[in-house]
Amino acid sequence: MHPHDAQVSVVVIGYDDAPHVTHAVRSALAQGGVVREVIAVDDCSTDGSPELLDALAAEDPRVRVVRRTDNSGGCGTPRNDGIDAATAPYLMFLDSDDVLPPGAVDALLMAAVAHGTPLAAGLCVRRELPSGREVPWQPELYERSAVVSHPSRRPRLAYDTLCVNKLYRTDFLREHGIRFPEGRFRYEDFVFSARVLAAGPSIALVPDTVYVWHVRRAAERLSISLDRAGIDNWKARMEATRQAYEILLGAGEKRLARAARTTFLDRGLRMYARELPLRDAGYRTEWWKLTRAYLSDFDAADFAQASVPGRLIAQVLLASEQPRDLHRLKELAARPARLTPPYASTADGTPVWSQDLPQVQLEHLLHRPMQHLPVAVDAELRPRARATRLRLRLHELYGRVENARPAGVDIEFVLREDSTRVGLARTAALEPDADAGGWTAELPVDLAALGSGTWDLRLTLRFDDGTSRDTTPHAVTGPGLLGRHVVPSVRHGVLLVQPYATHSGALALRVAPGPRGVTSVMGRRFRRLIHWK
């Protein structure tokens, strides 16, 4: 028997998730003998999930089913039930619609035991379904194995608010009374994670992928992290962040508390600002008012630790009582950030957000390295039968672009589902264009070379001073620029091409080659129209 066998309880929580819960539990059982038990807490499901769990328990005695008699309305209470039921020295959490990759529990347990830490953490990846595209979560924390003697030595730990990519010593949680908020409390992991860090554990970090977070944007019932259309979601996020901050501050962990606010500015604020143009006027007004009130408690040091985009968005909010410049804020909130015109300045030449908001100063733009500047590039893609043309326009930014002397731009169309696959790569010179008020490049695009899929456009701007800047281009709107085009193709007969603007305003492209691809896309569009009617 392996010395680490039967050392871990895996707590799986679920509610009305019959299509996925079996897969989740099996992924925990597949970790091998290291798992003593899989505690499946069913939050009073009515879709047949309890029967599926009973069947799994009949197959494998390691499965223990805990049935709640009333629905808690959140994720915290069933996880607390799992903590109470756990009998193993260590425990992990798993949501019913996610999975543990092979070897995840072993990797975490070996690190915790080897270093004697009550907590071990590893990399989580967000897997977009059905595409399968994976995006690592907070990868900077998990680049290499490390042991952190106290969380305050690495404040960035507060950025990782997830509870599921970690292994906890069970008696550590119980001795410190660390639990989740009960009931209908959204973003409960923000508060739980703050309570863990406030207890001051040593932490073993591993570079292994230990959790796969499934992102199902087309699901009938969206997860809390995706269901952001209502203002209550934003209220819950602010409340969870507020509690996390107060927990850490109350424990004397000022650097960690500040990091919690930095995370709010860098992640939450930017995410929701990108989506503001999608919301109605009532939502925007209330969101703006609530956010201004919340940010009014932040001090200068809180803002100083945040990224430039997060800090600027907060400053514009605090400077204006009413929603404004929503599309410009959306561009600034993009990753990478884009600061679009106008580029206003005061009489003494100090860059400012706008002439009527001179208190929001952008003087830092005069000193930041070029590779970090939020330069803006406009992009127009015009699908044509003979030759599709891509036109780019690089804007000046308070003299910084001209001083660096634009030379050229490297262009890549990258498959959305697999960011390692480049469908088309080109290089073009950037030429001064007095009429356009900046620098332009124009080049042909062979759409047939891309193939079927959704393609993101990535740019690397190169300058004669030896610097460069990676960015994405802003999608220019106008007649004939965005929307579906049917283009003849020698290779495929016909292409259905759709340039469009992403939620962050960047130009992207959908391509469906061949008559079958065109028919499939048009059929889906027709069915959507019938559905909405």
Which helix (H) or strand (E) is 256 found in, with range? Answer: helix 254-263
| Structural domains for the chain | 8-215 (3.90.550.10), 244-367 (no CATH), 377-532 (2.60.40)
- Determine the pLDDT at residue 515: 66
412 pLDDT more than 80: yes
Residues 6+ positions from 360 with CB-CB distance below 8 Å: 312, 315, 316, 319, 352, 353, 354
- Distance spanning both ends of the chain, measured CA to CA: 63
pLDDT tens string 260-282: 999 999 999 999 999 999 999 99
Residue 111 CA, chain-centre distance (Å), reads 27
Q: Are 396 and 402 in contact (CB under 8 A)?
A: yes
- Determine the pLDDT at residue 466: 93
pTM for the whole structure: 0.89
Total count of residues recorded for the chain? 533
Helix axes 188-198, 254-263, angle to 10 degrees: 160
Question: Which residues, in sequence order, are bridge partners of residue 388?
Answer: 445
pLDDT tens string 325-374: 999 999 999 999 999 999 999 999 999 999 999 999 999 999 999 999 99
R_g of the chain computed on alpha carbons: 25
Number of H helices, E strands in the chain: 15, 23
| Mean predicted confidence (pLDDT) in 116-130 | 94
Tokens of 50: 């309890």
153 vs 437, more confident: 153
Which amino acid is it at 513? P
Tokens of 261: 């606010």
Residue 105 CA, chain-centre distance (Å), reads 24
4 pLDDT more than 80: no
Residues 6+ positions from 64 with CB-CB distance below 8 Å: 37, 38, 39, 40, 57, 85
